[in-house]
Amino acid sequence: MSFFGLDCVRKKERELERKLRANDREYNLSFKYATNAIKTSKYNFFTFLPLNLFEQFQRIANAYFLFLLVLQVIPAISSLSWFTTVVPLVLVLTVTAAKDATDDINRHRSDNHVNNRKVEVLIDRKLRSEKWMDVQVGDIIKLENNQFVTADLLLLSSSEPLNLVYIETAELDGETNLKVRQALPVTGDLGDDIEKLADFNGEVRCEPPNNRLDRFTGTLTYAGQKYPLDNEKILLRGCTLRNTEWCFGLVLFGGPETKLMQNCGKSTFKRTSIDRLMNVLVLCIFGFLAIMCTILAIGNFFWEMNEGSQFTVFLPRQEGKDAKFSAFLTFWSYVIILNTVVPISLYVSVEIIRLGNSFYIDWDRKMYFARNDTPAEARTTTLNEELGQIKYVFSDKTGTLTQNIMTFNKCSINGKSYGDVYDYTGQRIEITESTDTVDFSFNPLADPRFMFHDHALVEAVKLENPEVHAFFRLLALCHTVMAEEKTEGELLYQAQSPDEGALVTAARNFGFVFRSRTPESVSIMEMGQQRSYELLAILDFNNVRKRMSVIVRSPEGKLSLYCKGADTIIYERLHQSCSKLMDVTTEHLNEFAGEGLRTLALAYKDLDEDYFSQWKQRHHEASTTLDDREDKLDQLYEEIEKDLLLLGATAIEDKLQDGVPHTIEQLSKADVKIWVLTGDKQETAENIGYSCNLLREEMNEVFIISGNSPEDVRQELRNARTSMKPDATEDSMFIPERILSNRVKVITDEVVNGEYGLVINGHSLAYALEHSMELEFLRTACMCKAVICCRVTPLQKAQVVELVKKYKQAVTLAIGDGANDVSMIKAAHIGVGISGQEGMQAVLSSDYSFAQFRFLQRLLLVHGRWSYLRMCKFLRYFFYKNFTFTFVHFWYAFFCGFSAQTVYDEWFITLYNLMYTALPVLGMSLFDQDVNDLWSFQHPQLYMPGQLNLYFSKKAFFKCALHSCYSSLVIFFIPYLAMNDTVRDDGKDVADYQSFALLTQTCLMFAVSIQLGFEMAYWTAVNTFFILGSLAMYFAVTFTMYSNGMFLMLPSAFPFIGTARNSLNQPNIWLTILLTSILCVLPVVTYRFLMIQLCPTINDRVIFKVRQAKAAPPPLPRRARIRRTSSRRSGYAFSHAQGYGDLVTSGRFLRRPAVSRSSGFAHTGRTTTGFSPMGRSAGYSPTGRPQNVKVNDVEVTSLQMYRTMDHTL
């Protein structure tokens, strides 16, 4: 269940067009639109029992056991009491029902939590506080700052100028930067006047409910006029209102019909691959059971025909019952007796094992995140072993791999690199949490959260280095950030991208504080002095330009152009005099990029007043033309953005979550392929890919797929595949896979020489996911070590996951933290939610949750691998012990005239799976481990057998059946031959049926117990107690039930009087037990010895290494941060959006003007810890002084003496 009810409901009749009228519930109700209530629960108080039982008996095994129970109450065919089946059946139904009830109660609570949220609704000309679930289409509702948007709304009016609202869409697309929506002027005039809003009777006609987040079409008819509606006027459910006191909206879509809900993906019942294999095996077992029963029924027929006729003298047949009818009854009798090939206790045990392994995840302190007090949580108990088989991980980026926190990390100014820290010997030291930070106390307007470690940069600012001042002046002026200052000195920046926010915050802390803006000006505080620059033009960013510029006039009248952008773009436009500085800055940029930082180059130029006047006139003409407007504007931008002077470069770190690179490296060693599916732009995603070790410089090639047509995309994919594998053929990639008679294509893994990466953007992915091209895309992507999909919608994320699930024999896992990841999480075999900054939507839809991405390696490499290993061992052993138990019945049938006589005591049959062998196998399945968690991390390759289904498969099952067949032959025939014509030491006969039954079941108990001991790799006190205790329990119960007292109490139920004490005191009985046990385990010991010597597995090699070490593994080496030069740099650091400059200069984006402010700086003497505002830094070129003025020599500080990157130009 999602925080916003991200669960789909049953589809009703297809809607072609939506019609609604404001403030007219009666009219809108006639269309039967969905209300805003959500419902994800399955049951209520009255329907729980019948529905749950109906669902449980849809499982083949449960229906089978119910059928057996019916057979057992028929006296003519039943040789077992009814309680041998009804007790375990009731137990398993009760346990499953209790679990289903608990899950549904949690869903009810989640539903109620969402549905009972409050919102103000305009009803009967008054604002009333109503529950979310009572909101209906056509209602007008009022939202306030920081509230979640209740439903999909048409924005009517707001508290902001020009009826703007600011929204955060993190829940929809993962982006935390603010977006702007604007109401129609005709509805904006309604304001917050309740009377006018109540009289509003506009009619809306719009598209039906759909999942397109980026598109909306409709019309509003009001007062006889028709107005077009688009996405810019719509507030979607899942958004959060920011920096807007209030707004009013008209409900267009509610509950399951909202776009957020339409993107949720289908909720599917998830089952593990072992579950699916078990279903196939159970069907095979049923078939095998039918064959065995048929053989024995035919045997009964011939026995009755030949031998049975001799018994009719003293056992006459009933009227009308001949050999054929006897064979028919015998068939059903053996169905009952041999039903232990699929015992119901198997399913009870599986649920207990899964529950126990889920508790291990919940209790794991190493997956507990103390900072947020968030433990790991297994939200489902049915998928644990699947965690040990993951082949593909699909991850969101923002908030999952990264913290979504941008930090100003380093910079290069005038050829000098800042940001590194050096010791007294001049050696660079690694920055940690304990490293001293720069003291910004000299600046009252500094952001206290900003941290910087290189003291030399603040020294340069205080010493009024002109290039440093120009650098930060550019950062304070060249942006589209909005400033909010509700109280004096407390600034809040609302940036359109977190990168821009980081740059403006850095300038703020170093003394160049952006305070406010109007459409015509930008006000900043420069070194304590309030200055207002006239904003003449914003040359906006787009994906082709990859840069933005502002043209400003300083208070002294100086015209300047400031530009920031991708270094390759800026370098093409620099003046020739910057060549030396370019070389040095390039070295710094390569170093920054090598550390995974996002880089930008900064440049400026002074403009001539006459030239600018002429350019501005041409700019106005171009911006108003109707033909080729964009091209003409681009030409004008190119003309003025040339002969720039380089100032330096910035390096921003999109902070990864702790341990992300190491986790990705470990998973990669485990042959887990990681695909990143993100809504971010391509350059941003690439940078993160490199910084988290997903993409590496050592890769042979990273392919970029960015075609704008199907033909281009297809060709780019083929070119990439040809580069990786020149001799690849078109048809060699498929193997036929038959699953329950449905033939599907499965793409095999193709081996390539080298390592490759693939980056594909959203519009290219849309073509690649088309049916005609999906296999082309999948084949190419699967040949790569890492795949990054950029600008993808929530639905595309799910489509990529579904594509891999459909054509790959692999288990998938999706991990994310926002509502935009919900569809992907639901689509994957395993869904993992990160308890992050984007709410709880992903967590509520997930199967597992924790707080940090780094915990994924522990979830998979430790808990997942152990769970899979334990479950496979459990199944192999369980089938072995039950097949062995059952096959003894089969052999005995040939010696009892096929009469359906049981070879064991009836009580032994009842208690074998419930008491005698239940705890030992559960102990192994809950506590066993081949190596501990530290060795699991040391050798991630241990994870690979799970991906290949090596521990339990059809092959392993049939080997287990053959082993059981051999053991049953030994357990039956050795005691049979040993007791044949045997007498006790006192001369009395010991070869009676009861003594033989006791000996056979005792041999069976010892054989399966010793076999379990060989299966266990990790002995604990609990395991030892369970095995020895079960044997002790067997003897205690046997002697009790075969005692005189029990026989006297209930003779018919306890017929084996005295058998135990009369048989088990004979030495030959114990010798028989010893011989049988040795013969049962001897082939197992021999086979395992030979396999370890001749064909050791990865587990065998690691276990041998562990035993040699006889201690914990050495700690993983601390990964030193590798500094490397890199030819790759970010194309453009901040994820900007085209058109934002127009919003700023038009004034549509602006808030009401703020009150006048004081400078906020204390006027102190000029020292190394304080400064007085110096007027000479203003009114010059951006360097703060004429270029030919010599800077006075200043005393070099101790911090500057040890700079190693000091370049003199």
Which residues are catalytic, by number? 396
Report the C-alpha gap between 37 and 116 in whole angstroms. 9
Do residues 244 and 145 lie in contact, with contact meaning Cβ atoms separated by under 8 Å?
A: yes
Can you give the three-state secondary structure of 825-857, one letter per residue? HHHCCEEEEECECCECHHHHCCCEEECCCCHHH
Cα-flanking dihedrals φ and ψ of residue 593, to 5°?
-65, -35
In one-letter notation, the amino acid at residue 884 is T
Under 8 Å between Cβ of 694 and 747? no
The residue type found at 47 is T
Tokens, residue 966: 């051999």
Bridge partner residues of 534 (DSSP)? 521, 553
Angle, CA 337 vertex, CA 332 and CA 338 arms, to 5°? 95
Q: 530-534 — which CB contacts under 8 Å span 24+ positions?
A: 530/1157, 530/1159, 531/555, 531/1178, 533/477
Q: How far is CA 526 from CA 1173, 1174, 1206, 1209, in A?
A: 8, 9, 26, 27
Q: What is the CA radius of gyration of the chain?
A: 38
DSSP helix/strand/coil, 294: helix
Measuring CA to CA, how many Å separate 1048 from each of 200, 993, 1038, 1044, 1054? 91, 21, 16, 6, 9
Length of the chain in terms of residues written: 1209
Chain centroid to Cα 1173, Å, comes to 52
For residue 940, the SS3 value is helix
Rounded to the nearest 10°, the torsion over CA 266, 271, 273, 276 is: -110
Q: What amino acid is encoded at 102 in this protein?
A: T
Dihedral of alpha carbons 65, 69, 71, 77, sign: positive
Q: What residues contact 694, with CB distance under 8 A and at least 6 apart?
A: 664, 674, 676, 688, 757, 786, 788
d(CA 774, CA 737): 19
Q: Rounded to an integer, what distance in angstroms lies between the CA atom of residue 962 and that of residue 1045?
A: 42
Dihedral angle computed from the Cα positions of residues 719, 720, 723 and 724, in that order, rounded to the nearest 10 degrees: -150
Q: C-alpha dihedral over 522, 527, 529, 535, to 10 degrees?
A: -20
Query: 305 exposed, middle or buried (CB, 10 Å; 0-12, 13-18, 19+)?
Result: middle
- Would you state the structure tokens that stand for residue 641, as one six-digit string? 């953005």
CA 7, CA 1: separation in Å to the nearest integer?
A: 7
CA–CA separation, 993 and 991 (whole Å): 7
Distance CA 1096, CA 181 (A): 64
Query: Which residue, chain included where needed, has tokens 């304070």?
Result: 476
Token pair 């200055």 is found at 531
DSSP assignment of 869-935, as one string? HHHHHHHHHHHHHHHHHHHHHHHHHTTTTT----SS-HHHHHHIIIIITHHHHHHHHHH--SS-HHH
H/E element, 412: strand 402-413
